[in-house]
Structure 1
Amino acid sequence: MSIPETAASVRPAPTGPTVPTPRRSPRARGPRGGRRAERLAPYVLLAPALLILLLLRFWPLLLGVNFSFTGDGDRDGLAVGLDNYRELFGDPLFRGALRNVGLLVLLLPVAVAIPGLLATFIYLRVPGNRLYRSVYFFPAVLSPVIVGAIFNLLLAFDGPLNALLGGVGIGPVDWLGDPDLAMFVVVGVHVWATFGMALVVFLAGFATLDASLLDAARVDGASLPQTIRHVIVPSLSRTIQFVVVTTMIGMLTSMFGLLYVMTSGGPEGSTYLPEYYIWIQQGQMNRPALASAASTVLFLIMLVVGLVQISLLRRTVREA
């Protein structure tokens, strides 16, 4: 006996190949959530570094600025307004330190051009370029105290340099005792001791330089100065900006060791810099609030000088 077929049990035969229905993955179900995670990922990765900067840099900076408005000695902890800043700018030693900052700004192009030109010669593979790379970087690994002690011996009034000058008929020069000369000598020693690091940064920038641009300049008959101005400088604009800012910061904040060993701020206070003045006020005079005010002024100087230099460099690169 046959069982009658119902309409539900009868299925039409497929007329073509069947296509499986794709399953939606969890990510496909929430595209907005995936995009949100991608947007937040950089902030999550930067959060630890930003937290360290906030706790170890910005927060102490704010505390120092706040401390600069308090008093020293009998007025310790009391709010004194701008009294510390008035005393700062009335102090001849601090005004001399600010003049020396202006001298550093004027000498900065020389401090940047020296490693830049040497890196250019090394990149163009002058004979012995590998040896030069090691020799130029070697002073960067020496302690400022060691460098200062070495040059104290070389530049002494009865030292080897004056003996060499005497052999050619030039009288002895008081390199570190002349107020008009001592600061230039210390800055020159600092540049010699530190330009190796800037040289490495320039060489890293040259690694990203398009060699075809140099080949095109050579084919067009461009001289070396023209190649540097129209090809190398525009191509390394970011590297130059970085070296300028870091070199300026180093000259303002990393010369204490040389100053302490070579001149101790003399002669007649002619080699004072803000960082040395800060150490004198904090370490010898026991005036931390005044030292905090000087630190705040130094920070503002570095900020303004850095921004102005970056602006000028960008304008120069656009013109080149």
Structure 2
Amino acid sequence: MPGGRRAERLAPYVLVAPAVLIIVVLRLWPLLLGVNFSFTGDGARNGIAVGLDNYRELLDDPLFRTALRNVGLLVLLLPVAVAIPGLLATFIYFRVPGHRLFRGVYFFPAVLSPVIVGAIFNLLLAFDGPANAVLGGLGIGPIDWLGDPDVAIFAVVGVHVWATFGMGLVVFLAGFATLDSALVDAARVDGASLAQTIWHVIVPGLSRTIQFVFVTTMIGLLTSMFGLLYIMTSGGPEGSTYLPEYYIWIQQGQMNRPALASAASTALFLIMLVVGLLQVSLLRRAGRED
């Protein structure tokens, strides 16, 4: 019997050991190697310890500073990127007419390749394309969606949100399956408006789901836009659509500077970690206040 109890205590560790081993070997160990490599030099100084020289060079590079500013812009736009699938999932939950059709239509862009999405929107957002034709019909002058440095980043981010919000929609719908429908019915009986029901019933009830979608959406914005950037703007115009992942690819793939790319990767990881922890902290605090 003592042996049986010992085996029972060890069983959970044995079961999780393969997953932990995979994470350590394929994630943590390469991450540590990349961080260590970021403190070495490129070119003639390859393999030589250079301290913080790569990080100083990053801060002095205007393209990397532009990438950091764009990260700040993404953080500001993040609530919008989360609210869109959240609101659409709410309408589907309340079974608006055609909700089954909308569920499939909204998810469809998520299965398209970023290359295909980028090529399609390059045609739609061309200076003489359909989008400007519609604006012209409304008496609004044409917009250089992908050629204006002040507009291009918003265009690319908007396309990314359109192409990926289907995944967030699915997560929200799964969260609605755990929501106590009696609370929603009680709010209706009390005469609460849709906005009041969303704010006082749905948002607190889906707080954990919202936290998850916030973090995963942020990770997607920071690490999954390379395909769109490459196809739609290639980092232009004037480097205005640079993001850290695109900067990393340029340094590694075109400039042959793997150590500097490792430093940029480490900086991106730290940014994601800090922003993610701040988001979770703020959302938890808001949930407690509600």
TM range (shorter): over 0.9
1:305 is matched with: 275
Residue identity matched to 1:225 = A
Q: Of 139, 143, 150, which residue of structure 2 is paired with 1:173?
A: 143
* 1:69 pairs with 2:39: yes
Q: Greater share of helix residues, 1 or 2?
A: 2
1:292 is matched with: 262
Larger Rg: 1
Alpha-carbon distance in structure 1 between the residues aligned to 2:84 and 2:260 = 37
Q: Of 195, 198, 211, which residue of structure 1 is paired with 2:181?
A: 211
1:221 is matched with: 191
Partner SS, residue 286 of structure 1: coil
Residue identity matched to 2:99 = N
Alpha-carbon distance in structure 2 between the residues aligned to 1:217 and 1:147 = 41
Alpha-carbon distance in structure 2 between the residues aligned to 1:234 and 1:42 = 33
Q: Of 162, 166, 173, which residue of structure 2 is paired with 1:192?
A: 162
1:48 is matched with: 18
Alpha-carbon distance in structure 2 between the residues aligned to 1:298 and 1:88 = 12
1:275 is matched with: 245
- 1:171-192: CA deviations, max 9, x gaps? 1110111111110110000000
Change (3 A) 1:282 1:226: same
Matches within 5 A, 1:1-320: 30=1, 32-320=2-290
Partner SS, residue 277 of structure 2: helix
Alpha-carbon distance in structure 1 between the residues aligned to 2:86 and 2:197 = 13
Partner SS, residue 267 of structure 1: coil
Structure 1 residue 33: deviation in Å?
4.1
Partner SS, residue 306 of structure 1: helix
Q: Which 5+ residue runs of structure 2 have no aligned equivalent?
A: none
Alpha-carbon distance in structure 2 between the residues aligned to 1:46 and 1:162 = 55
Alpha-carbon distance in structure 2 between the residues aligned to 1:45 and 1:208 = 28
- 1:178-227: CA deviations, max 9, x gaps? 11111011000000000000000000111111111111111111111111
Q: Which 5+ residue runs of structure 1 have no aligned equivalent?
A: 1-29
Alpha-carbon distance in structure 2 between the residues aligned to 1:34 and 1:105 = 52
Structure 1 residue 37: deviation in Å?
3.1
Alpha-carbon distance in structure 2 between the residues aligned to 1:212 and 1:307 = 33
Structure 1 residue 41: deviation in Å?
2.1
Alpha-carbon distance in structure 2 between the residues aligned to 1:169 and 1:304 = 45
Structure 1 residue 259: deviation in Å?
0.3
Residue identity matched to 2:219 = I
- 1:115-170: CA deviations, max 9, x gaps? 00000000010000000000000000000000000000000001111112112221
Q: Taking structure 2 as the reference length, what is the TM-score of the superposition?
A: 0.98
Alpha-carbon distance in structure 2 between the residues aligned to 1:129 and 1:304 = 37
Partner SS, residue 272 of structure 2: helix
Cα RMSD for the two superposed structures: 0.9
